[in-house]
Structure 1
Amino acid sequence: MNENNSILLIDPGFHPETAASCSLIVKIGSGNLSYTIINNDETRVIALYDEPECTNSIQKFNQLLKTDIYLTLPYAKISIAVNTGNIAFIPNELFNEDEINTYTQYFSEDSSKQIFVQPDRSAGFTTVFSLPLLTEKSISGIWPHYKVYQQNQGLIALGKGFEKQNLLLDFSAHTFEALVFNDGILQFQQHYEFDNNEEFVYYLLLIAQQLNLDFEQVNVLVSGIIHLNDEKWNSIKKYFTNLSLLNTDIALNCYVIEDMPKHYYAGLLSIYICG
């Protein structure tokens, strides 16, 4: 752990000249930043950087681009998942590519002009989003090619394998993402910030009330910065009967992070299956 509460775990056998056979995955959250390097030939995690709590993740990302030699190597594949409020989910039967401006008219003014459209046939909706302007300025020109996702795209991909109704909660230090799936189809997604456990419980019960979740029937899966029997875990357990840590089931050799709780990095590592 460094002075800024970040960690960098790296396989000592990793050589920068092998980057051409590797993938870089970056996840820029609202108050957290992480990235991982994966050897594609061996489907093996060879590096992971994580700063679970940073005031300005974009500013921190800009700093790393100048100081972290691993970020700017010529990777075979680069995926960037970004938290953005400039996002809309359109049912596929209503989506019209000629009416993009209709979906983006309520995006914030600092939105970039580039619009990303990601259709999902199995989920039944198309995601339309743009990056915050500062984020786009940070990544444009750094790499000749990269693919952009909204922050939770990896978790949505994992959710396609869920049966029945599931509430997935992914935590950072002071935020959490809530996603609700019915038989693998995403029904709800929202981002929340909280200062204390009381605020977290308020949002948790609000979600349950709005979506009419059955406390005894819904499966609650948690990932990110949460531990068994910590304050957040016990609060969830107080109301919901079926609670467990998210099992990612991603076919990756995670030896380099085997001493870390696997559910910590579900949101980051799951992006690997999106490409």
Structure 2
Amino acid sequence: MSGPALFTVQNLTKRFGGLTAVDQVNLEIHSGQIYGLIGPNGAGKTTCFNLITGLYTADEGQFLFDGRPYSPKAPHEVARLGIARTFQNIRLFASMTALENVMVGFHCRSKAGVLGSILRCPHQRREELDIRRKSLELLEYVGIAQYADHVSTELSYGDQRRLEIARALATNPRLLALDEPAAGMNATEKLKLKELILRMRGDGRTLLLIEHDVKLVMGVCDAVTVLDYGKVIEQGSPQKVQQSKAVIEAYLGGIHEHP
């Protein structure tokens, strides 16, 4: 069962010149829920995602987080609020180990500060050890602890995806937003990803999932919003969405070019 509304989008609109990429979108994500956002290529999913996570600024609409209005002006402000994201294109630190990549996520909430890091005071050293321990636990959680000391580029594609999720979890988010996490994965990697996503929900985490793999979305999500040409064409349970004539037309019947 999902809890009360954690994140609400009201009348979200974004224009790029004469193109309205996101047009009066509304959605509501409840605590403990996996919420899917899908649509054909060019439907506005990524734009909507970037608005939610502070990479773009909305032209219209508002966001409510835990019932309170907020304006995501920059990604670091969004992270501080409690929203973490991954990216469609993997963005790991190539020269760092898997463990170090996750530790970076914890450092965004570090209490030692710059001076403490320079002076290496006892408090800073204790915090560093604690961050290292928690990072190893997260690597274990996502199933890649055995690669803790491997440079991130040495990991397989699927393991790099899971490493990104571990780093995002290190920020202790209340909402974890995953941007095309299954992109480029083979069937075995997708199965492991599905198991991880379901495990996170089982542990009470709240997730927003943008994904092209409709089968994955329908297999894990509690609720789904479908966009086409920037507009919401269907919302509701996976069962309702799959039976929608508008959704079937957008994916199968309407062979059209999207901007």
When the two structures are superposed, what TM-score results if normalisation uses the length of structure 2?
Answer: 0.27
Of Structure 1 and Structure 2, which has the larger fraction of its residues in strand?
1
Q: Which has the higher contact order (CA 8 A, sep 6+)?
A: 2
Of Structure 1 and Structure 2, which has the larger fraction of its residues in helix?
2
